[in-house]
Structure 1
Amino acid sequence: MTTRRRHHDNPLFVDLDAPDESYDDRPRRPSRTKRKEAVEALQALGVRLVELPTDRLAKVDMPDSLRDAVREAQRISDFEGRRRQLQYIGRLMRDVDPEPLQAAIDAFDGVSAVENARLHRLERLRNDIMENERVLESVLSEHPGADIQYLRQLRRNALKERELNKPPKAFRTLFQILKELEAGNGAVPPDEDEAAGTDTADQS
């Protein structure tokens, strides 16, 4: 009589009920390097919070304990004391969701970057105007309501200030006017007192 071979003796048979020793569903702890990187990232985020101006810090939602610690760090001028306070902030950060904090700082950085780019562009425009009066024609084409004569007067006075090594009053005013034009306020001539001061530079 032939003995029937059992399925589990067949090397091609897979017993679905048998435990899979190759699979371990236990959560794995992050490596020491990963843990160190996470701690350093939280500490760096804490430093960014301390660097925020008071008005921006007030807009960031965070636990009172963290806010108090950040404010205390801002008041400390001693290097060692500040270092210890930053370490304390780093420990507090471990119990806080860092995503909203990072998002708030990223938003602040984005606004700052855009504003800095705008100011640099206006500075380049002012320098171009100083080098070539015809650049004012492009300003007028973009801002038809601009007082082109006033802008030309500011340019002449700024050049005179530079030539005579005088304080750059007209030079700064030209920049402010360009900012106002971009904001849609238009180039408004100065009042009588300001006009008199500007004309003085032109007559020197």
Structure 2
Amino acid sequence: MHEEEEFNEEDGDFGPSRSEQRREALAVLELALRLVELSEARIAQIPMDEDLRALVLASRKITAQIARKRQVQYLAKHMRREEPEALEAIRAALDHDKADHRREAQALHQVEYWRDRLIADGDDALSELLAQHPDADRQHLRQLARNAQAERLKNKPPHAFRELFRELRDLLSHPPESE
């Protein structure tokens, strides 16, 4: 082996491998795509410098598929020139959005679950709900559940069904009072 081919730790580090550089570039490209898909109002809330924000907004306006792809690649090229801290702040803001969205979806699923249980199981489900939320209006919820069940049987518009959903959403959005 030649002396020049040997890697010696004293010579220093060669930096990130080509594969690592490619992975980083693809991650920035994905971040650019996520930014372009956001609404203008949401883009205004993301922490980034004004030049980058203007470039993201310009990229949103392009609708032709190939042109948009080129524009997003151009945006990613500019983003790779940004400081790593700036990119991390953008990622953190986008990940925070995902977490909020998951929590909201989970809350709506919980409301739908209780609405369906109240309509299907009646008083058994209502007793279980009241055990968790003793401040709930038993009679009003029972009446809405019965009306929703009757609407479903008679194929009527789901007025009580929707009203029950709204009542449960309001009830479940507030944490139960502890004793």
State the TM-score, normalizing by the size of structure 2: 0.83
Report deviation, 1:185: 9.8
One-letter amino acid matched to 1:153: Q
Q: Is the aligned partner of 1:81 residue 2:71?
A: no
Residue in 1 that maps onto 2:42: 56
Residue in 2 that maps onto 1:150: 140
Report deviation, 1:145: 2.5
Report deviation, 1:40: 0.4
Q: Is the 8 A contact 1:69 1:85 kept in 2?
A: no
Report deviation, 1:174: 1.0
Q: Distance in 2 between matches of 1:151 and 1:55?
A: 38
Residue in 1 that maps onto 2:4: none
Residue in 2 that maps onto 1:105: 94
Residue in 2 that maps onto 1:171: 161
1:58 is paired with a residue whose SS is helix
Residue in 2 that maps onto 1:12: none
After superposition, the CA RMSD in angstroms is: 2.1
Residue in 1 that maps onto 2:29: 43
Q: Distance in 2 between matches of 1:144 and 1:55?
A: 40
Q: Distance in 1 between matches of 2:64 and 2:29?
A: 19
Query: Alpha carbons of 1:77 and 1:163: their partners in 2 closer, same or farther (altered >3 Å)?
Result: farther
Q: Of 82, 86, 90, which aligns to 2:76?
A: 90
One-letter amino acid matched to 2:75: I
Q: Distance in 2 between matches of 1:79 and 1:62?
A: 26
Residue in 2 that maps onto 1:10: none
Q: Distance in 2 between matches of 1:185 and 1:154?
A: 22
Q: Is the aligned partner of 1:124 residue 2:96?
A: no
Instruction: State the structure with more CA Rg.
Output: 1
Report deviation, 1:90: 0.7
Q: Identity percentage over the alignment?
A: 37
Q: Distance in 1 between matches of 2:61 and 2:166?
A: 34
Aligned residue pairs, count: 166
Q: Point out where structure 2 has 5 or more consecutive residues left out of the alignment.
A: 1-6
Deviations 1:114-163 (A, max 9, x none): 11111112211111111101211122222223221111111112112212
Q: Of 101, 119, 127, which aligns to 1:137?
A: 127
Q: Which has the higher contact order (CA 8 A, sep 6+)?
A: 2
